[in-house]
Amino acid sequence: MKAYLSRRYHFSASHRLHSEAYDEVRNHEVYGKCNNPHGHGHNYTVEVTFSGKVDPLTGMVCNLADLDAFAKTNVVERFDQTNLNLLDCFANRVSTTENLSIEVYRIFAGFSAAHLERVHIEETSNNSFDYAG
């Protein structure tokens, strides 16, 4: 039996949408108030989905405690209470939630106990992004 397990994690971070490729006027046109030089922040929710065979003995796709430990170390503690723009992964990329989704997907791909299906990130309750590789 193949099942899909989804888990949601939360972190809060600041960012500023700004592209070095644009001048000041163009940045403001493209990113609007998200281009505020002082930055702003969000409570992000990451929903990650893994699939796999349900182990006939344990009834699990993967051990949730292992996944939680992986997510805590590699995602939550890495991004929580940070300024995303100052992290290495956004040194050369704009810290949009599209790019954040791709980075979080890359991180969760390192969890080898199940097959990564999808990363879904809610930036606000009205904005969400999906990346499935």
Partner 1 sequence: MIFLTRKAEFSSAHYYWIDDWSEEENYRVFGKCANRNGHGHNYTVEVTVAGEVDPVSGFVVDLKQLKDILEREVISVYDHRHLNLEVPEFRSSIPTTENIAIAIWTRLKNKIPNARLHRVRVYEMPDLFADFYGEETGGEQA
Give the footprint of partner 1 on this chain (CB under 8 A): 1-9, 49, 51-54, 56-65, 113-115
The DSSP call for residue 55 is P
Give the CA angle between residues 33, 76, 96 to the nearest 5°. Answer: 25
Other CB atoms within 10 Å distance of the CB of residue 76:
16
Tokens standing for residue 32? 């609007």
For partner 1, the closer CB: 1 or 25: 1
Q: Is the backbone of residue 34 left (phi > 0), alpha (psi -120 to 50) or beta?
A: alpha
For partner 1, the closer CB: 58 or 92: 58
Minimum Å gap between C-beta 78 and partner 1 is 19
Minimum Å gap between C-beta 2 and partner 1 is 3
Minimum Å gap between C-beta 105 and partner 1 is 17
